[in-house]
Amino acid sequence: MNKVIIFYGSSRAFTEILPNEYRNLTDVVMELDKESKNMILHIPEMNGQNNDSLDKEDEKLQVENFVVNSDEYSGVREHVIINFANFIAKMNIKNMYIQNPPASISEQLHRIYDSSILEVKQQNYKSIDKNSMIDFYKKYDEVIVGQTNAKMRIMQAIYPLLNDKQKKPVILLFYGDSGLGKTETAQYLSKLLSGVLFRKQFSMYQNNEFATYLFGGNYYEGSFAKDLLDRDSNVILLDEFDKSNSVFHSAFYQLFDEGIYEDRNYKVNLDRAIIICTSNYKDEKEIKENLGNAIYNRFDAVIRFDELSNESKEVIAKRYLENLKKEYEDVMTDIDEDIYLRLMNTIGQCSNAREIKRIIKDVFNALAIRKICEEQ
């Protein structure tokens, strides 16, 4: 073995360090399984020696570049992972690249190879700097309408990340009605930091499967720690955090305090990350009553997203109308002043951006259908 690289990070970043040609774990497992089924019985000669010794190095599978992608652990039998050292001993490997290995594989590799062969690499996630902070301040209102107060609170909360000495992640709780820009704010922050937002919708998990997901199960089962290792961005969105059962809150204590999350198979470090939890609570009193002080006091900032003013609703509507011009080019001429005024009056009764966009889309669809019918 010339070199072994253990890489922690996203598949996109992992691909950047790989050679042009390689064989992956799934491919090799299939070939070795096929060979084992076709094994020929070797009969020892009288002197007890086998002329076709199975231990010859040249009978091993020759692999110049062996690659293990993060998504392959769930597709192989568990014994391959538990006995990974024995598995790779069946091959002559020159170079090995392995992404986000379970603790079992990592421990085996560290026992076999010293630092002259084995190297551990981490993805370098972009963090908040002065330029991205300025961009957030100048352009946020172009993306999220009516949340100036939330913008300033967010900037205050993430400011400590400008100090390179702070490793602890910033933990934020966004609250307020749905459709006010909480998720969009997380997406915008991730875009500023050149990554695809890591998002988990906690309302999708039932209690039994959520326990397995949080604390780890079998290698073929998904886990929160494994997904965090695979993330492409250091902005983490735990959507609808309020929907998770409070019995699981203790699983997040170390993550919120130190930026470390560990289950039975994986351990991940989230230095300098921005972790955003969202909820639909109305006020901080309701948050404390439902989440409890133990988790509430671990948030660096609890930030309210305000209800939309009529002015904000009109801005959202006008921007969305502008975006629909190309899609509904044929019906734009049918929107006279009367339709426009009635539309704006209806929008004034909406409570969030989703409702506004849905009503506008419904009106445009109705006009398009009427135009089609009139042409017949």
In the chain, domain spans? 3-122, 130-304, 310-375
Whether 198 has a pLDDT exceeding 80, the answer reads: yes
- The burial of 346, by beta-carbon neighbours within 10 Å (0-12 exposed, 13-18 middle, 19 or more buried), is given as middle
Q: Give yes or no for a contact between 201 and 239, defined as CB atoms under 8 angstroms apart.
A: yes
Q: How confident is the model at residue 360 (pLDDT cuts 50, 70, 90)?
A: confident
Q: What is the pLDDT of residue 51?
A: 53
Give Cα separations from 80 to 76, 85, 108, 208, 365 (angstroms): 7, 9, 12, 27, 55
Give Cα separations from 23 to 41, 58, 65, 253 (angstroms): 28, 18, 6, 40
Q: What is the pLDDT of residue 54?
A: 47
Q: What is the pLDDT of residue 164?
A: 78
**Percentage of the chain modeled with pLDDT above 70:** 91
Round the average pLDDT of the chain to a whole number and report it. 88
Query: Measured over all CA atoms, what is the biggest interatomic distance in the chain, rounded to whole angstroms?
Result: 104
Nearest to residue 226, comparing CAs of 29, 11, 80? 11
Q: CA-to-CA distance for 296 and 302, rounded, in angstroms?
A: 9
For residues 59 and 280, the model is more confident at 280
**Percentage of the chain modeled with pLDDT above 90:** 60
Summarize pLDDT for 97-129 with one digit per residue, the tens.
Answer: 999 999 999 999 999 999 999 999 999 999 899
Helices (H), 159-251: 182-192, 207-215, 224-229
Q: What is the DSSP string of 2-37?
A: -EEEEEES-HHHHHTTS-SS-EEHHHHHHHHHHHHH
Superfamily of domain 130-304: P-loop containing nucleotide triphosphate hydrolases (3.40.50.300)
Give Cα separations from 347 to 168, 314, 328, 352, 363 (angstroms): 43, 8, 19, 9, 12
